[in-house]
Amino acid sequence: MIRRALCVAILAASTALASAQSPTTVAFTNARIIDGTGRAPIERGTLVVTNGRVTAVGPSASVTVPAGAQRIDATGKTIVPGFVNAHGHVEAQMGAALPVRDDLIRRLRIYALYGVTTVVSLGSSAHDEAAGIRLMQEQERAGLDRSRVYTSGTPVEGETAAQARAEVARLADLEVYAIKFRLNGGANDMNEAAWSAIIDEAHRRGLKTAVHIYNLKDAQGTIDKGVDVIAHSVRDQDVTPAFIAAMKQKSIPYIPTLTRELSVFVYETTPDFFRDPFFLRGNALYGPQVPQLTTPEYQARVRSNPTTAQIKKAVGQAERNLKVLSDAGVTIAMGTDTGAGGNPGRWQGYFEHVEMEMMNKAGMTPMQVIVASTSNAARIFGLSQVGTLETGKWADLVVLSANPLENIRNTRAIDSVWIAGARQADVPVTQSR
Ligand SMILES: [Zn+2]
């Protein structure tokens, strides 16, 4: 009896504390609202958030702000859905002093700082796989203090179909969100029996599959066997009419990951963006990597590496293919390969904005880029609760002080970031709660 009374008292106290920290209802008024669906923006809109979710959104004249709501006047501001990275990596640094869980959380907070409120992590490593799955399982709640992660666990490999199936089964039992595998287009690739078994076993377990490809041939081959997502650009040749037709007929989405290419060659000299205040926003995470990338020895190694010249060519090919596929009506989703283990200079948070700029420069309109980076990126992985600002979805959003439809670089004019209705810290907090 006493114990029960104590529990009730603790519950009452913690409820009071929670409501003191974040009011249950927040209303943004007078904002330009881009809802992520591709519809024209609402020029003077109201968006109401209750218990972490969007409960009303529309022109200010037609939305009633509930009594007692905290009002935020967003005159002159633009609200967009939190950006969704459909191909990132949330991996802990090997040998870091920070515990694995805390390392993953600090990365999710850097993504949050940049308005990238959801990351589909297509490949963790063995030492952070369990921690990533755990974080994914803990995030379906109001008032998150970090970005969301949906993880595939470690990429699947196997020399035989039986090995591939066993590895997919292991991951499915761990309740990963999707299955990732790689075909680099080289001699060390898995044989077709093994990789087609990955797709088949994943589907049997109700999981989508995403493939890393380089060549058109591998993209086409995996589509023929039922793969769900093409997670890199076709970089060896122009996409063909037959390939475009297959992508469209099977509704296969395409993730260009242009900044992955950029990260291969940009460090042959010191990039200007190292001095960009928007880059320096992420300095708590980025700073320790910069000295390594700016030594003359490192930059000379990048210049003399044959891959550098190959990838410089490949990025042009990737940009041309992106324009053709986007114009043809293939679903494009934003992804970057940021955070991929062991590869320095793939900046989680900053590079998603560079990616959006590169997609725009490749020929997509700012609205197409925003849709690719919000609703499309969520939908292709079946994330039904994020990616648009519609009633019932999580209130994951970015308030911008400039209009990204006028210039895609205005995605960087971040005023505030909200996840599940909670305003994120303006400086990253490294400690776990
Ligand atoms: Zn990747």
- Measured CA to CA, the distance from residue 319 to residue 45 in angstroms comes to 35
- Range from 98-112, 220-234, 338-352, 417-431 carrying the lowest mean pLDDT: 417-431
The CA 257 to ligand 1 mean position distance, Å, reads 9
Which pLDDT score, from 0 to 100, does residue 5 have?
A: 43
pLDDT tens figures, 236-247: 999 999 999 999
Q: What's the 237 CA to ligand 1 centre distance in angstroms?
A: 21
Question: What is the Cα 235 distance to its own chain's centre?
Answer: 22
Tell me the pLDDT band of 22, cut-offs 50, 70 and 90: low
**432 Cα–ligand 1 center, Å:** 26
How many whole angstroms separate alpha carbon 250 and alpha carbon 253? 9
CA–CA separation, 372 vs 411, rounded Å? 14
pLDDT value of position 197: 98
Reported confidence tier of residue 342, pLDDT bands at 50, 70, 90: confident
Residue 123 Cα to ligand 1 midpoint, Å, equals 7
pTM reported for the whole predicted model: 0.93
Q: How confident is the model at residue 202, as a pLDDT?
A: 98
> What's the farthest any 2 CA atoms get from each other in the chain?
75
Residue 88 CA to ligand 1 centre (angstroms): 6
CA of 340 to the centre of ligand 1 (A): 6
Q: What is the pLDDT of residue 23?
A: 57
Burial of 385 (0-12, 13-18, 19+ CB in 10 A): middle
Q: Is 364 helix (H, G, I), strand (E, B) or coil?
A: coil
- 91 CA from centroid of ligand 1 (Å): 11
Q: Is a pLDDT exceeding 90 seen at residue 8?
A: no
Q: How confident is the model at residue 207 (pLDDT cuts 50, 70, 90)?
A: very high
Residue 409 has a pLDDT of 98
Task: Please tell me the least confidently modeled range out of 15-24, 44-53, 164-173, 250-259.
Answer: 15-24
Interval between CA 306 and ligand 1 midpoint (Å): 21
The CA 138 to ligand 1 mean position distance, Å, reads: 24
Mean pLDDT of the chain: 93
Rounded to the nearest angstrom, the distance between the alpha carbon of 285 and the centre of ligand 1 is 19
Q: What is the whole-number distance in angstroms between the Cα of residue 86 and the centre of ligand 1?
A: 10
CA of 122 to the centre of ligand 1 (A): 6
Give the number of other Cβ atoms within 10 Å of residue 249's Cβ: 9
Q: Is the pLDDT of residue 15 over 70?
A: no
What is d(CA 153, CA 139) in angstroms, rounded to the nearest whole number? 17
Tell me, in angstroms, the distance from the centre of ligand 1 to residue 61's CA: 45
Q: How far is the CA of 221 from the centre of ligand 1 (A)?
A: 19
Q: Distance, CA 89 to ligand 1 centroid (Å)? A: 6
Q: What residues are neighbours of ligand 1 (ion), with CB under 5 Å? A: 337
- pLDDT average, residue stretch 287-305: 96
Q: Which of 1-5, 132-136, 312-316, 356-360 has the lowest mean pLDDT?
A: 1-5
Q: Give the Å distance between the CA of 314 and the centre of ligand 1.
A: 16
Query: Ligand 1 centre and the CA of 20: distance in Å?
Result: 41
Mean pLDDT calculated for residue range 143-160: 97
Nearest alpha-carbon partner for 338 in 228, 261, 227, 236? 261
Q: Tell me the domains of the chain and their CATH numbers.
A: 82-386 (3.20.20.140)
**Ligand 1 centroid – CA 233 distance (Å):** 12
What is the per-residue pLDDT for 343?
A: 85
Q: How far, in Å, is the centroid of ligand 1 from the Cα of 183?
A: 12
Mean pLDDT, range 96-116, rounded to an integer: 96
Average pLDDT of the segment spanning 121-147: 97
- Tokens standing for 32? 């330009």
Distance 410 CA to ligand 1 centre (A): 26
Q: What spacing in Å lies between the alpha carbon of 214 and ligand 1's midpoint?
A: 12
Give residue 151 CA to ligand 1 midpoint distance, Å. 12
Q: pLDDT (tens digit, 9 = 90+) per residue, 370-391?
A: 999 999 999 999 999 999 999 9
Determine the distance separating the centroid of ligand 1 and the alpha carbon of 265, expressed in angstroms. 17
Task: Tell me how far the alpha carbon of residue 232 lies from the centroid of ligand 1, in angstroms.
Answer: 8
Q: Which residues contact 25 (CB under 8 A, 6 or more apart)?
A: 48, 49, 50, 55, 66, 68, 69, 70
